């Protein structure tokens, strides 16, 4: 069993390595992670380091992406901002996965009234446009706080994981290998952990990739509205928000952070597309 | 069909109830005392108590909820804490702006997405297909608030083609109205166009494999006729669901786009009310948008059931 799982994982990895779209996405994402981690070493200046004589300068030999209204280096702030975007994206998706995935597993596996209650709660969360619900939750938790932003985004995207997990469990629990495990008297938790969860990892992985892209966009949107990260934190969204006041005078502070957001989100979308191509059996059959 | 409609309408009731509880709960958990905010730090305890009594804020939360809900059910969304004006007429007026923005965005998205998605599916594997897929992925990845800022910068401030901000209703002056709405609608509709395009492509690819399409080809029908008269019609059923979901994205996205383009719509109204702690407007506005979103999804479900009879019997 373990051997066949390993062989299947190796096959999938080989298929992914041959998938052009997915590989481009993986390179963009990995590249951003490396740049974010190395930011303290490779950034030409500190994120908050100001140069009073260099306010709102276009790209030049000293400041490759120009400077903002306080004379801060935009390139350095973008490199440090990558840490924030990735951190918020990863933690908020982890929250969504834990809350939504666990709820969906439980709802699908147990069924009955518990399924009804959990899924109606998810339906209620789904009934709100995502950004509006995130704004509402931020208003309650307190604006300008990065942890609250992560929590709000995590709650907003939990229902999509719940629905996916539940749908996968509903089809899996009717399968013969799960029925056999039940007949053998295996405890429910063991069936869930050993037979169900490993089999829903593929669709979940694809969902995680797409959720990361939307979570990064949502964080940037919240920060752009002044609700997400505090102004002192160099997040890409808040950099864009601040640049709006000077956009006519100096467009560079508005152009580069936006490009950075787009590139990272594109990376996750390409990665997700590639993963889906590899993990979706219908696409694999070349249909 | 009647049974299906009744089933769908009944299914939405618990969701609406849940929405009302969540909205009320969220708004009343927002930190800060409304009375203190409205009267300022100089207010006496007596003045604060009077104001709380006037708005009913001194009562237990469940009583406030039941009172609020019973008024909402008869169309009374309360009055603004700040302006003392009834909330509903203001919401309806602001929603008119958001609705125009949403409609224009959706029209642009559909006008771009359907032909591009169909062409992409018809030319699967060719260069044009690859190009369309990359464009769609870029469209999905571009933040709408950044695109809005770039459009203002290049189209309005550099090229002077269209006004950067402001709003004229399409009903008052359609020509001027479309000029003020085209940039925000483009910024808002790009991601939706990309999403729908991808859906049209994948749905059409499914349909193009069906036997009846092969029969249509075998009969010697032109490619265009097969694609647009036979395949697209059936491929459109799942696309319809996506369109319903995307209305929610447009309504949510309008919050940001309206603040960039200074449109006096619902989104900006809500953001201002959140910072002013105007509970009645936030409560009414969020409920209003969630209701609209639910009704759009209900309508999509009903049309879906009407178009595909198999859905009604599930």
b/e per residue A133-153 (b: at least 16 CB within 10 A): bbbbbbbbbebbbbebbbbbb
Residue range A273-286: average pLDDT?
A: 69
The alpha carbon of residue B254 is apart from the nearest alpha carbon of chain A, in Å, by: 10
B255 with B267: CB under 8 angstroms?
yes
Res. A5: pLDDT tops 70: no
For residue B5, give both structure tokens: 């409609």
Residues of B with CB under 8 A from a CB of A: 14-15, 18-19, 22-23, 26-27, 29-31, 137-138, 140-146, 149-150, 152-153, 157, 209, 248-249, 251-253, 255-256, 259-260, 270-271, 274, 282, 286, 289-290, 293-294, 297
Most confident among A77-86, A117-126, A226-235 (mean pLDDT):
A77-86
Q: Average per-residue pLDDT in chain B?
A: 86
Question: What sections of chain B are H helices per DSSP?
Answer: 2-29, 34-39, 45-54, 61-73, 87-122, 127-141, 144-151, 174-208, 211-218, 223-225, 232-260, 266-276, 279-307, 309-312
Return contacts of B78-82, CB within 8 angstroms, 24+ apart.
B78/B280, B78/B283, B78/B284, B79/B280, B80/B278, B80/B280, B80/B281, B81/B34, B81/B38, B81/B55, B81/B277, B81/B278, B81/B279, B81/B280, B82/B38, B82/B276, B82/B278
B190 with B144: CB under 8 angstroms?
yes
Confidence band for A286, pLDDT divided at 50, 70 and 90: very low
Look at residue B314 in the predicted model and tell me its pLDDT.
Answer: 55
Nearest chain A residue to B28 by CA: give it: A140
Tell me the C-alpha distance between A122 and A114, whole Å. Answer: 12
ipTM: 0.87
φ/ψ of residue B232, rounded to 5? -60, -35
In tens, the pLDDT along B87-129 reads: 999 999 999 999 999 999 999 999 999 999 999 988 888 888 8
Q: Could you write out the three-class secondary structure of chain A?
A: CHHHHHHHHHHHHHHHHCCHHHHHHHHHHHHHHHHHHCHHHHCCCCCCCCCCCCCCCCCCCCCCCCECCCCCEHHHHHHHHHHHHHHHHHHHHHHHHHHHHHHHHHHHHHCHHHHHHHHHHHHHHHCCCHHHHHHHHHHHHCCCCHHHHHHHHHHHHHHHHHHHHHHHHHHHCCCHHHHHHHHCCCCHHHHHHHHHHHHHHHHHHHHHHHHHHHHHHHHHHHHHCCCCCCCCCCCHHHHHHHHHHHCCCCCHHHHHHHHHHHHHHHHHHHHHHHHHHHHCHHHHCCC
Confidence band for B25, pLDDT divided at 50, 70 and 90: confident
Nearest to A129 among B137, B145, B293 (CB): B293
In tens, the pLDDT along B163-176 reads: 888 889 999 999 99
In tens, the pLDDT along B251-261 reads: 888 889 998 99
Tell me the C-alpha distance between B6 and B4, whole Å. Answer: 5
Tell me the C-alpha distance between B54 and B257, whole Å. Answer: 36
Res. B24: pLDDT tops 70: yes
Look at residue A282 in the predicted model and tell me its pLDDT.
Answer: 57
Res. A2: pLDDT tops 60: no
Most confident among A182-196, B170-184, B260-274 (mean pLDDT):
B170-184
Most confident among A23-27, A133-137, B280-284, B299-303 (mean pLDDT):
A23-27
For residue A183, give both structure tokens: 């007949």
Confidence band for A285, pLDDT divided at 50, 70 and 90: very low
Res. A139: pLDDT tops 50: yes
Measured CA to CA in angstroms, residue A151 lies from A98, A135, A143, A145, A155 at distances of 12, 12, 12, 10, 6
Res. B144: pLDDT tops 50: yes
Residue range A122-142: average pLDDT?
A: 86
Look at residue A287 in the predicted model and tell me its pLDDT.
Answer: 39
Look at residue B175 in the predicted model and tell me its pLDDT.
Answer: 93
φ/ψ of residue B154, rounded to 5? -85, -45
pTM: 0.88
For residue B189, give both structure tokens: 């509709």
Percentage of the residues of chain A whose pLDDT score is greater than 70 = 95
Which of B253 and A92 is assigned the larger pLDDT?
Answer: A92
A45 with A76: CB under 8 angstroms?
yes
Residues of A with CB under 8 A from a CB of B: 120-121, 123-125, 127-132, 135-137, 139-140, 142, 213, 217, 220-221, 224-225, 240, 243-244, 247-248, 251, 254-255, 257-258, 261-263, 265-266, 269-270, 273, 287
Residue whose pair of structure tokens reads 């003392």 in the numeric block: B84
Tell me the C-alpha distance between A103 and B255, whole Å. Answer: 30
Look at residue A101 in the predicted model and tell me its pLDDT.
Answer: 94
Tell me the C-alpha distance between A211 and A213, whole Å. Answer: 5
């Amino acid at each position: 069993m373990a051997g066949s799982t390993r062989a299947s994982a190796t096959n999938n990895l080989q298929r992914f390595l041959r998938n052009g779209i997915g590989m481009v996405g993986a390179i963009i994402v990995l590249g951003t992670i490396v740049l974010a981690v190395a930011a303290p070493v490779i950034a030409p200046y500190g994120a908050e380091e100001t140069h009073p004589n260099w306010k709102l300068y276009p790209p030049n030999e000293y400041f490759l992406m120009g400077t903002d209204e306080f004379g801060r280096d935009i390139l350095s702030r973008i490199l440090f901002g990558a840490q924030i975007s990735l951190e918020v994206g990863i933690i908020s998706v982890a929250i969504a996965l834990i809350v939504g995935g666990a709820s969906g597993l439980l709802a699908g596996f147990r069924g009955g009234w518990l399924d009804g209650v959990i899924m109606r709660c998810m339906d209620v969360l789904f009934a709100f446009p995502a950004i509006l619900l995130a704004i509402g939750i931020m208003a309650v938790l307190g604006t300008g706080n990065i942890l609250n932003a992560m929590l709000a985004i995590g709650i907003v995207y939990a229902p999509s994981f719940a629905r996916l997990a539940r749908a996968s469990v509903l089809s899996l629990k009717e399968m013969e290998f799960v029925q056999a495990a039940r007949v053998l008297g295996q405890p429910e938790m063991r069936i869930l952990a050993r037979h169900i969860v490993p089999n829903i990892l593929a669709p979940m992985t694809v969902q995680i990739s797409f959720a990361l892209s939307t979570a990064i966009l949502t964080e940037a949107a919240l920060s752009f509205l002044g609700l997400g990260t505090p102004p002192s934190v160099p997040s890409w969204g808040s950099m864009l928000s601040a640049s709006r006041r000077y956009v006519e005078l100096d467009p560079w502070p508005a152009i580069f952070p936006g490009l950075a957001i787009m590139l990272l989100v594109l990376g996750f979308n390409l990665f997700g597309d590639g993963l889906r191509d590899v993990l979706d059996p219908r696409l694999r059959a070349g249909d | 069909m009647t049974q299906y409609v009744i089933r769908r309408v009944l299914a939405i009731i618990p969701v609406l109830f849940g929405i009302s509880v969540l909205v009320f709960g969220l708004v009343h958990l927002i930190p800060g005392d409304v009375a203190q905010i409205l009267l300022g730090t100089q207010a006496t305890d007596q003045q604060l108590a009077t104001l709380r009594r006037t708005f009913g804020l001194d009562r237990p939360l469940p009583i406030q909820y039941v009172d609020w809900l019973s008024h909402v059910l008869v169309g009374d969304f309360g009055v603004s804490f700040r302006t003392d004006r009834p909330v509903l007429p203001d919401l309806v007026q602001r929603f008119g702006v958001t609705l125009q923005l949403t409609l224009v965005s959706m029209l642009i998205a559909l006008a771009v997405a359907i032909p591009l998605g169909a062409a992409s599916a018809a030319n699967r594997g060719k260069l044009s297909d690859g190009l369309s897929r990359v464009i769609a992925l870029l469209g999905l990845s571009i933040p709408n608030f950044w695109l809005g800022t770039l459009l203002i910068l290049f189209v309005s401030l550099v090229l002077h083609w269209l006004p950067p901000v402001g709003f004229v209703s399409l009903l008052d002056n359609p020509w001027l109205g479309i000029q003020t709405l085209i940039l925000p609608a483009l910024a808002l509709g790009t991601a939706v166009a990309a999403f729908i395009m991808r859906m049209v492509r994948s749905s059409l690819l499914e349909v193009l494999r069906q036997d009846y399409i092969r029969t249509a080809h075998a009969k010697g029908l032109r490619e265009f006729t097969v694609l647009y008269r036979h395949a697209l019609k059936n491929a459109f059923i799942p696309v319809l669901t996506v369109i319903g979901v995307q209305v929610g994205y447009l309504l949510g996205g309008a919050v940001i786009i309206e603040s960039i383009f200074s449109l006096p719509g619902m989104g900006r109204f809500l953001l201002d009310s959140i910072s002013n702690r105007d509970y009645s407007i936030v409560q009414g506005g969020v409920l209003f948008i969630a209701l609209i979103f639910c009704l759009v999804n209900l309508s999509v479900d009903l049309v879906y059931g009407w178009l595909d009879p198999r859905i009604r019997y599930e």
